Structure 1
């Protein structure tokens, strides 16, 4: 049987496995192993390539550290304080709590760098509150799923680290380039949320109180400090992204341990609302004990244990695709589109449809090395294209049939997956609108980079 026929059969087989729910890591691994045998590549070669990915991947060390940061701020209560502040600012608007949950997603993303962590944390905290506040439970869950899309755009971003590693671009520049587009994604979704809530009359209004805003802002100071620490260190060049991740983990551990001690000394009641707490109590979060850190670390390690092998096996998959000529075929197709905008929008369409069936990590690892050089050849700035590429990949988190954030939101809220789909449409429209705006306006990604 010809090699092409065998590879086609293998591809059909792993596609069926994916449709049956086999984890994407195993699907890619089966395809890589099968194609390696067909092409005459040894398993020793595959093992060497897998090891080589991490031997030269110092920047990838930031990934598990930022994942750990997200778990630490969630466990310590810092994430809850950030969401309280967002609600204090937006609760006076129709749909204010839902808009606040989107704002909280943006704030949480600015520390954690993970879409799934953002969706899971904010969804588990605010979905019950939204249902109590008169929102449809399906809309509430869809809001958490949509808000999580900014987790890989607002810095620090795990996927920006991977993209910079693959394309040999400064990760600090990628982080800075994601600030304005990420903020626009949040604002665009909040606008869509406000419109839908006004139409349906969802949500109870609370008065805008300066005292409430000030007290919740004061209570969220640790979160703001952590965000500022990351952005200041990276933007000024004081830290590399990996060093910034390590510093932030250290800060979160110290803050969590000290806060736990102080909250006990002050006999702080975690069930008190912001109105009942003094400014001194608002200064201290719940924190965690030294004995809880191994459990928090283990949870972060489990997520890293899923992502790291996926990165490695996807790199090998990329090499096999290159041997098969797939990169050349895709490259020729995109190049044949013609000029700047034709190539740009063709690349965006490819990323969008790929995101519907694959997670952002394999989409990035497989397609970025193909599409980025073509975009650069027609004059698209590499940093600008990275933002375009990854905003498109992030939209895939709420597009079926894959839609990872939809699965995460369904898991933490108990709302069935298929019942969420209808309510993601307004957010999807808003995100696509922002994506097109960012693609047509390079300044939105490059404005904060002085050397661009």
Structure 2
């Protein structure tokens, strides 16, 4: 166990990628110990990626890339400006609302930061906002990507913890809304402190148009439900409502109704049992292709090829991490490291709230140094036995782990969102880090609330009978 952990830390310190460090330390342990047959390495690598839920990973990545190249991000931004741009500190609120909407499409914080972030930061700079403030609010709002469904980290966690991915998706809705409210309150505080005004003039027509689009989107599931209550089959009711929605959108040329329908389609389809979370990822790709090729006609063959190759590159990177982490995690289990850590923590405390505090500190620390996928793959086998032993719901713990790791993406030395935003804003990593620091306050408040008020996470899944 000592060889495994120490060699992993040394390889990380000298700058090797986390996947290579995990694979290298695992191979060194196998070579030195001689207790594990070589064929086991291949078997564990294959079993690590031979999973139906993991199919969701490339499809959600592709859906996010397609949304970016189809110009959906620009439509989302314009919609958010119409909805909240008239408030004090308007573009700060626009930044957050735009991330909320895009979160229902991409499922990753990096896609949010890279896609909407480039538009948002430039617009805020053009309106006179400090670059540091623009970067800070963009970084904080990007953490909503994996909390509001769909979510790639939820897919990985659900696979590792043997937890319903659909339940995790639904569990992320209320925490996402709660985090959104905290971030908008933070923008309001800065606006009042710095005496900022609005960025666009208040216009009843513009606000009414945005509100109408929201009402149309909300009317879709309500209309389906009313038709089903009157005896219409769910499939026929949905088809009829969808055809009506398409006709209205083509007639009046709404700016964002079809984009706003993405989370409705995904969550509604999973809730009604039409497709699994993995199949929802395929549905997201089909919807993105429909918007880019048919509805908006903004997608070219060249852009489509680029999005496909970007998806292949990102997917290969993620799955390499999963394969390396599966070997590493298996060795941690077979060397009794997980059991030793469990016994040690239980010797310190058997109180649930104390364990959650220690787990938060551990995951926050790990998230600053290790990629999200690798961190989940390593930590779940170690912490899940304790979670179950102390009576903590694994769905609740999945939200806690994911939010901790999203905060880790904002920190050096390996915070990917930090580096993406530093490149977009042309700030140094040091200045970008300082810009993000004030936004850790609402994120930490959200983490504390989500950790110690389980109903924020579990009420909706229980309401839909997805968990007991």
TM interval, shorter chain, is 0.7 to 0.9
Which residue of structure 1 lines up, in the alignment, with residue 285 of structure 2? 249
Work out whether 1:437 is the aligned partner of 2:449. yes
Matches within 5 A, 1:162-241: 162-202=156-196, 204-216=198-210, 217=213, 218-241=254-277
TM-score (norm 2): 0.85
The answer to whether the Cα contact below 8 Å between 1:50 and 1:312 also exists between their aligned partners in 2 is: yes
**Larger relative CO (CA 8 A, sep 6+): 1 or 2?**
2
Which residue of structure 2 lines up, in the alignment, with residue 358 of structure 1? 370
Quickly say closer, same or farther: Cα 1:232–1:42, change in 2 above 3 A: same
- Out of 310, 313, 322, the position equivalent to 2:324 is 313
Work out whether 1:52 is the aligned partner of 2:43. no
Work out whether 1:149 is the aligned partner of 2:133. no
Which residue of structure 1 lines up, in the alignment, with residue 7 of structure 2? 10
Q: Deviations over 1:296-323 (max 9, x none)?
A: 1111111111111111111111012223
Work out whether 1:128 is the aligned partner of 2:122. yes
- Stretches of structure 2 lacking an aligned partner (at least 5 in a row): 214-253
* Distance in structure 2 (CA, Å) of the matches to 1:9 and 1:286: 54
Query: Could you tell which deviates more after superposition, 349-358 or 165-174?
Result: 349-358
Stretches (4+) displaced over 6 A: none
* Distance in structure 2 (CA, Å) of the matches to 1:214 and 1:296: 35
TM-score (norm 1): 0.88
- Out of 311, 319, 337, the position equivalent to 1:300 is 311
Q: Secondary structure at the match of 2:121?
A: helix
* Distance in structure 1 (CA, Å) of the matches to 2:196 and 2:23: 46
* Distance in structure 2 (CA, Å) of the matches to 1:423 and 1:245: 34
* Distance in structure 2 (CA, Å) of the matches to 1:379 and 1:442: 12
- Out of 349, 354, 372, the position equivalent to 1:342 is 354
Quickly say closer, same or farther: Cα 1:211–1:58, change in 2 above 3 A: same
* Distance in structure 2 (CA, Å) of the matches to 1:368 and 1:77: 37
Work out whether 1:138 is the aligned partner of 2:127. no
Which residue of structure 1 lines up, in the alignment, with residue 242 of structure 2? none
Work out whether 1:94 is the aligned partner of 2:88. yes
The answer to whether the Cα contact below 8 Å between 1:77 and 1:286 also exists between their aligned partners in 2 is: no
Work out whether 1:160 is the aligned partner of 2:154. yes
Q: Deviations over 1:20-76 (max 9, x none)?
A: xx3222222222222221222344321221112222x10110111011111111111
* Distance in structure 2 (CA, Å) of the matches to 1:301 and 1:332: 42
1:340, CA displacement in angstroms? Answer: 1.7
1:428, CA displacement in angstroms? Answer: 0.8
The answer to whether the Cα contact below 8 Å between 1:113 and 1:156 also exists between their aligned partners in 2 is: yes
The answer to whether the Cα contact below 8 Å between 1:133 and 1:203 also exists between their aligned partners in 2 is: no
Q: Secondary structure at the match of 1:208?
A: coil
Quickly say closer, same or farther: Cα 1:124–1:205, change in 2 above 3 A: closer
- Out of 39, 43, 49, the position equivalent to 2:33 is 39
The answer to whether the Cα contact below 8 Å between 2:67 and 2:73 also exists between their aligned partners in 1 is: yes
Q: Deviations over 1:336-377 (max 9, x none)?
A: 312221122221221111112222212211112222221222
Q: Deviations over 1:234-261 (max 9, x none)?
A: 12222101111111211211221113xx
Quickly say closer, same or farther: Cα 1:32–1:383, change in 2 above 3 A: same
- Stretches of structure 1 lacking an aligned partner (at least 5 in a row): 260-284
Work out whether 1:448 is the aligned partner of 2:443. no
The answer to whether the Cα contact below 8 Å between 1:146 and 1:405 also exists between their aligned partners in 2 is: no
Which residue of structure 1 lines up, in the alignment, with residue 97 of structure 2? 103
Q: Secondary structure at the match of 2:144?
A: helix
Q: Secondary structure at the match of 1:219?
A: coil
The Cα RMSD (Å) is 1.9
Quickly say closer, same or farther: Cα 1:335–1:413, change in 2 above 3 A: same
